[in-house]
Structure 1
Amino acid sequence: MDERLPDPSRDSGSLRTFNLMRLMRTMGHTVHFLPTKGRFEDPLAPQLHDIGVGLPHGMSATHSASAPAWLRRHAGDYDAIIVSRYHLAWSWLPFLRSAFPRVLRILDTVDLHHLRESREAAAKSSRLLAWAARGTRRRELAATSHADVTWVVSDSEKRLLAKALPSARVRVVSNLHQLPASVPGYEQRRDLVFVGGAQHPPNVDAVHWLLTDIFPRVRRLLPDCRLHLVGAGLREATAHLATVDGVHLHGHVPTLDSLLEGSLVGLAPLRFGAGVKGKVNQYMAHGIPTVGTPMATEGMGLTHGVDVMVAEDADQFAAAVVQLHADPRLWRQISEHGLKNVSRHFSAEAAAPEIVATLSGRRTGPAPPADRPGNGTTR
Structure 2
Amino acid sequence: MSLPKSRLLVIGCVWPEPNSSAAGSRMLQLLQFFLAENYKITFVTTSARSEFAVDLEKMNITSEVIKMNHPSFDEMLKRISPDLVLFDRFMTEEQFGWRVDEICPEAVKILDTEDLHFLRKTRIEAFKKNIPAEEIYFDADITKREIASIYRCDLSLIISEVEMKLLQKEFNIPQNLLHYLPFLLEPISEEEKLSLPAFKNRKDFISIGNFLHEPNWNAVLYLKEKIWPLIRQELPDAKLNIYGSYPSQKIWNLHNEKEGFIVQGRAENAEIVMKNAKVCLAPIQFGAGLKGKLIQAMQCGTPSITTAIGAEGIAGALDWNGFITNQPKDFAQKAVQLYSEENLWENSAENGFRIINSRFNKEAFQHKLSERLLNLIQNIATYRQKNFIGKMLQHHQHRSTYFMAKFIEEKEKR
TM-score range, shorter chain: 0.7 to 0.9
Aligned with residue 275 of structure 2, among 261, 275, 289: 261
Deviation at 1:251?
Answer: 1.4
Q: Which runs of 5+ in 1 are unaligned?
A: 57-61, 364-379
Q: Which residue of 2 aligns with 1:173?
A: 181
Tell me how far apart the structure 2 counterparts of residues 22 and 51 of structure 1 sit (CA, whole Å): 9
Q: Which residue of 1 aligns with 2:55?
A: 47
Greater per-residue helix proportion: 2
Aligned residue type for 1:51: M
Q: Which residue of 1 aligns with 2:85?
A: 81
Q: Which residue of 1 aligns with 2:45?
A: 35
Q: Is the 8 A contact 1:150 1:169 kept in 2?
A: yes
Q: Which residue of 1 aligns with 2:207?
A: 194
Higher mean C-alpha deviation, range 277-286 or range 64-73: 64-73
Q: Which residue of 2 aligns with 1:156?
A: 162
Higher mean C-alpha deviation, range 287-296 or range 93-102: 93-102
What does the per-residue CA deviation read over 1:111-152, in whole Å, with 9 as the maximum and x for residues that have no partner?
00111112111111089x958981110110111111100011
Structure 2 residue 343 is matched with structure 1 residue 329: yes
Secondary structure, in 3 states, of the residue corresponding to 2:62?
Answer: coil
Q: Which residue of 2 aligns with 1:63?
A: 66
Aligned residue type for 1:103: A
Q: Which residue of 2 aligns with 1:376?
A: none
Aligned with residue 273 of structure 1, among 287, 301, 312: 287
Q: Is the 8 A contact 2:88 2:111 kept in 1?
A: yes
Aligned residue type for 2:159: V
Structure 2 residue 36 is matched with structure 1 residue 26: yes
Deviation at 1:285?
Answer: 1.3
Q: Is the 8 A contact 1:38 1:64 kept in 2?
A: no
What does the per-residue CA deviation read over 1:183-238, in whole Å, with 9 as the maximum and x for residues that have no partner?
22212211111111221111111111011111111111111111111112435233
Q: Which residue of 1 aligns with 2:149?
A: 143
Tell me how far apart the structure 1 counterparts of residues 93 and 68 of structure 2 sit (CA, whole Å): 18
Aligned with residue 235 of structure 2, among 222, 234, 259: 222
CA root-mean-square deviation: 2.7
Secondary structure, in 3 states, of the residue corresponding to 1:299?
Answer: coil
Higher relative contact order (CA 8 A, sep 6+): 1
Q: Is the 8 A contact 1:172 1:354 kept in 2?
A: no
Q: Which residue of 2 aligns with 1:285?
A: 299
Deviation at 1:240?
Answer: 5.5
Tell me how far apart the structure 1 counterparts of residues 53 and 310 of structure 2 sit (CA, whole Å): 32
Q: Is the 8 A contact 2:109 2:153 kept in 1?
A: yes
Q: Which residue of 1 aligns with 2:390?
A: none
Aligned residue type for 1:48: L
Q: Aligned in 2, Cα 1:45/1:10: closer, same or farther, shift over 3 Å?
A: closer
Structure 2 residue 122 is matched with structure 1 residue 112: no
What does the per-residue CA deviation read over 1:142-168, in whole Å, with 9 as the maximum and x for residues that have no partner?
111111000111122112222314336
Q: Which residue of 1 aligns with 2:15?
A: 5
Q: Aligned in 2, Cα 1:68/1:206: closer, same or farther, shift over 3 Å?
A: farther
Aligned residue type for 1:223: P
Q: Which residue of 2 aligns with 1:375?
A: none
Aligned residue type for 2:249: E
Secondary structure, in 3 states, of the residue corresponding to 1:106?
Answer: strand
Tell me how far apart the structure 1 counterparts of residues 223 and 160 of structure 2 sit (CA, whole Å): 26
Q: Aligned in 2, Cα 1:353/1:270: closer, same or farther, shift over 3 Å?
A: same
Aligned residue type for 1:360: L
Q: Which residue of 2 aligns with 1:359?
A: 373
Deviation at 1:11?
Answer: 1.0
Structure 2 residue 321 is matched with structure 1 residue 314: no
Aligned with residue 125 of structure 1, among 113, 125, 129: 129
Aligned length: 355
TM (norm. structure 2) is 0.78
Aligned with residue 96 of structure 2, among 92, 95, 100: 92
Secondary structure, in 3 states, of the residue corresponding to 1:107?
Answer: strand
Q: Is the 8 A contact 1:38 1:63 kept in 2?
A: no
Q: Is the 8 A contact 1:171 1:354 kept in 2?
A: no
